[in-house]
Structure 1
């Protein structure tokens, strides 16, 4: 039997194990036919834009639903009697996770190739074919294939990225790439422990256990590990999504990263905010530091900053009042402020000279429900009129959404899978930042962000990024043991 557990309380272990066991011995899922029928009626096909052709409508059988449930949950763990030296034992699972975390893949100089070698070795250990693809030299994307018994069916893509954001070691309790395990609290400290090496390893461990049980999916399953999500994903996921390699996979659904949940409910994401990176450069006449005059560069910039601050406060008030979720408002945060004339003195700047230029950078995130044209007018008219020399960097269009509810059988399947595991699924959310899911949604594919970490503070990109063993779907059995 394949036993399952999740971030749910340990006392529910036997109940959850029995639930999946019933699935595996052939319990019929009543929604199989209605979903397939609804899918046909709604004409939900795998629509690939640009040069991609229209594929066959998805037909979800009981066996297909079971297969997808297994991957959505990522809950499989070995029975309590498993030998300590077994490759699926908790100690081995944790060891592999630590090895992955210890590979320094922090931008801007990630060790891409060491990470790729590790992932390929994991594929070899479970006898799955894999390959390393470089759409851009030096940036490998690892693709692992678990062949299904019916390769003509649309496949499942389990997607993650290998790179992580930089860390400041002196601000951590433990070195950020040590993958330190605190046995007293059951926490692993590491950059990437939440974003998102944990999810990538959950995929691998789920496949490892399912294969060991003798299970074979009807649909082909692909695991993709891309190199550069943290810097925009342009050389990894974007090129992958629009490649002949991707077209040949016949992907029907993409699972990507979500966020940890401080509460008991798991957080599913169906869309995300689009990043606009705004740089405002203000100009003014230079002058002596003691002189008072209007429209200096710094004064002009402060006018913009104050206007932006008021708008930010109005959006934040909606979140604090509980009227909007974080992903439903336009967020604006200052990323840098630059002005002054450098000096070799102890202060670092010439103090008696007013600068002729001043710059500020802002990270703006726009939800798919917002009007981007209205925001652009606000920027041009209020935040940065032409006199302040406004420029944009990496401005993107309105993001795509994945359907939720009865019109999307994959979404219904996620709800049913979590419910069958006695879990709680929160309401659909808009991801507050940008992920590589946007490239797959642009192709007309459903993409769901889902990181199964409940009762866990959101610490991605933070100092002391940490994963609680009790909140990880594939290693919490160690806590139980």
Structure 2
């Protein structure tokens, strides 16, 4: 017995030694940058120019409604008027009906170009809600320290922040060594097919590969990562995919007074219940794992001990993450039954029952794998399984060991020195997905400080961006262009 106890003690001591050693070696991965180049921004003037852009109702075509062509044309004219140096120095190409690609030629043609990406279209305001806004949604009003209007955050703020930075760099005589591309899509909110997808195709046809891509994405948030007291700049390094499975069951129909033991609705209900009871497996990988690898060293010792030893504690971490819907979505392909159809009358048996289940696909999984999962779990030949509508595979996970990643980290911390930069998995889709085949370094980040209340303004009521926050975004884009193009 003493030998057994002694052996157990040796094992415990050895395990403790391994855990502590890994925790002490789990050191910060934050870049310690040099001071940024001095860059002055007239915040009020820049805010006024953004406000002018927000007054133009640039809605892409959707659900049978035509695009607001006149608004897009006016916006492009406005861009020419407000940024004359940019339009004189950069090559401008119209792509599709509302998108535009700018090329700022560098002095070294051997270097792969860097791409800055944003979109000019906005989502519509819900009918009947305009009066509930503090300021009209297309007013572009600058008031109370904010620029108000649809698109201030998503995504004209990014597009015009980039334009502001390039115009100012040109005025200062800056010349990039690496070619810089600016791609502004006109239909991101409805899929990006005529904008970003067409621009990516054009670059592929020209044989262009990219050093890096920067698009909209994560922001600077406080209190988002438990255990980290500093604000965290979340950089999307991958996106989930999208697929909807259509499940159809054929029935005999007839009158409800003489039902069979199980109707088509009953068969289909059983299938949905099985899917909800058997979600796809949770996995801590890609951007979700990297979040803790970069943020973990900034936590207290107890949390560092945990995240430094995921080889042992990963099941515990996954149990905690899957307990909440918001974090569960970051570690598994999610299953959401969204539509169900049967008979049109309460006394008629359905001749056909149909359900739609939406899946947001975790990187590492695939759409085909999702369909195989559905068929295996449902396990009923009466249920026919297919796909419905738009399908998108999850994006590859971008590199976090490249010079492009280091330059992005450096740029963020030069302008926002108090933040921790961490990768994460984006749950939604952006235009960047069309460029993943052109670069290993596709990142999704918006240089804005937001709180949790601000997030509801995205696609919601009272969308706005602070005047000073917008000025900081312009400073970031200018510093980023300097860093990636030299």
Q: Same fold (TM over 0.5)?
A: yes
> Gaps (5+ residues) in structure 1?
1-17, 25-75, 342-349
Larger Rg: 2
Give the Å deviation of 1:155.
1.6
**Separation in 1 of the partners of 2:463 and 2:55?**
15
Of 409, 418, 432, 1:415 maps to 409
Relative to 1, partners in 2 of residues 1:390 and 1:339: Cα closer, same or farther, differing over 3 Å? same
Alignment of 1:79-94 (within 5 A): 89-94=45-50
Structure with the higher fraction of residues in helix conformation: 2
Matched, 1:382 2:377: yes
TM-score under structure 2 normalisation?
0.69
Of 152, 168, 181, 1:193 maps to 152
**Separation in 1 of the partners of 2:467 and 2:329?**
26
Quick check: 279-288 or 318-327, which moved more? 318-327
How much is the aligned-residue C-alpha RMSD, in angstroms? 3.4
Matched, 1:328 2:325: no
Give the Å deviation of 1:123.
3.9
Matched, 1:160 2:121: no
Aligned partner of 2:484 in structure 1 is: none
SS at match of 1:451: strand
**Separation in 2 of the partners of 1:106 and 1:423?**
41
SS at match of 1:427: strand
Aligned partner of 1:362 in structure 2 is: 357
Aligned partner of 2:92 in structure 1 is: 130
Give the Å deviation of 1:411.
0.3
Give the Å deviation of 1:268.
0.3
Matched, 1:178 2:138: yes
Matched, 1:223 2:182: yes
Residues 167, 176 of structure 1: 8 Å contact kept: no
Residues 120, 130 of structure 1: 8 Å contact kept: no
**Separation in 2 of the partners of 1:121 and 1:162?**
12
Alignment of 1:303-322 (within 5 A): 303-311=270-278, 319=321, 321=323
Residues 342, 354 of structure 2: 8 Å contact kept: yes
Residues 272, 399 of structure 1: 8 Å contact kept: yes
Give the Å deviation of 1:252.
2.0
**Separation in 2 of the partners of 1:317 and 1:292?**
43
TM-score under structure 1 normalisation?
0.69
**Separation in 2 of the partners of 1:415 and 1:300?**
52
Quick check: 159-168 or 311-320, which moved more? 311-320
**Separation in 2 of the partners of 1:437 and 1:260?**
16
Matched, 1:451 2:451: no
Residues 104, 180 of structure 2: 8 Å contact kept: yes
Of 395, 399, 405, 2:395 maps to 399
Give the Å deviation of 1:258.
0.3
**Separation in 1 of the partners of 2:137 and 2:375?**
43
Aligned partner of 1:213 in structure 2 is: 172
Aligned length: 384
Relative to 1, partners in 2 of residues 1:212 and 1:114: Cα closer, same or farther, differing over 3 Å? same
Aligned partner of 2:247 in structure 1 is: 280
